[in-house]
């Protein structure tokens, strides 16, 4: 398939799939946001996923510099590790007891279905992030070199257009100077012709410049 050979497009497609699961993860995180001790963290994870997907798409399509690609590799690695951590934590939390004897401070187990959803989406994000990071590391030189080549092509095209424009302006300037000189010397030519006819009517007058 052609998309497998186009690494930036392939990576953008992976990020697009991750964006869809990020939306699912975000709504699931809102459902379990009241969970004690980790409700805020899972909502923050969803926001970080969204920033990671948007930033990755921007780098791959707008800013393919070496610094930007290297930064994206670092963010992708941290996202992969965080996804694994999140999947393990919420997977273990699905085994909590909804009813316990007595009152346990800072303990809640009221959204087991939401915990399972967070675990599943985290596993999917972990797999996609791992694949994305691997391909990005393998293709980083190709992505950066392609950006440099594209920049050189744009510079060459701009230089050619500038040279062509300057040549056109130069030709118009020379033409204007020629016409101005002919207009200025025209009366002198007519005066010389009249003087020659007056002194030697039989001889042909000299031609100074064509009018």
pLDDT at 101 over 70: no
pLDDT of residue 87 exceeding 80: yes
pLDDT digits (tens, 9 = 90+) for 102-146: 566 777 888 889 999 999 999 999 999 999 999 999 988 888 876
What does the pLDDT look like over 28-59, one tens digit per residue?
999 999 888 888 999 999 999 999 999 999 99
pLDDT digit string, tens, across residues 134-186: 999 998 888 887 665 554 445 444 554 555 555 554 556 556 655 665 565 55
Give the residue with greater pLDDT, 5 vs 149: 5
pTM over 0.85: no
**Half-sphere exposure of residue 127, counting CA atoms within 13 Å on the CB side?**
7
C-alpha span between 54 and 143 (Å, rounded): 18
Local confidence band at 189 (pLDDT 50, 70, 90 cut-offs):
low
pLDDT for the residue numbered 152: 44
Helices 7-31 and 39-61 pack at an angle, to 10 degrees, of 160
The predicted structure's pLDDT at residue 160: 47
How many other C-beta atoms lie within 10 A of the C-beta of residue 50?
A: 16
- Start-to-end CA distance of the chain, whole Å, equals 69
Average pLDDT over residues 73-78: 96
Q: Any idea where the domains of the chain sit in the sequence?
A: 2-97+107-160
Nearest-10 Cα torsion for 65, 69, 74, 76: 150
pLDDT-derived band at 23, boundaries 50, 70, 90 = very high
pLDDT of residue 17: 96
Stronger pLDDT, 98 or 114, i.e. the higher one: 114
């Amino acid at each position: 398939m052609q998309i497998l050979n186009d690494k930036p497009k392939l990576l953008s497609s992976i990020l697009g799939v991750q964006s869809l699961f990020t939306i699912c993860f975000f709504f699931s995180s809102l459902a379990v946001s009241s969970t004690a001790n980790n409700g805020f963290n899972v909502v923050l994870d969803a926001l970080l996923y969204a920033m990671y997907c948007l930033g990755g798409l921007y780098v791959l399509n707008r800013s393919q510099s070496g610094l930007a690609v290297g930064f994206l590799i670092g963010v992708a690695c941290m996202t992969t590790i965080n996804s694994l951590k999140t999947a393990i934590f919420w997977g273990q939390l699905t085994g909590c007891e909804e009813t316990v004897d007595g009152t346990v401070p800072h303990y809640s187990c009221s959204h087991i279905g939401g915990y399972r959803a967070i675990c599943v989406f985290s596993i999917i994000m972990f797999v996609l992030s791992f694949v994305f990071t691997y391909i990005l590391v393998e293709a980083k030189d190709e992505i950066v070199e392609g950006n440099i080549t594209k920049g050189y092509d744009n510079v060459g095209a701009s230089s050619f257009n500038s040279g062509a424009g300057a040549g056109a302006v130069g030709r118009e300037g020379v033409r204007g100077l020629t016409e101005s000189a002919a207009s200025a010397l025209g009366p002198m030519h007519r005066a010389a012709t009249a003087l020659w006819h007056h002194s030697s009517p039989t001889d042909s007058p000299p031609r100074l410049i064509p009018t």
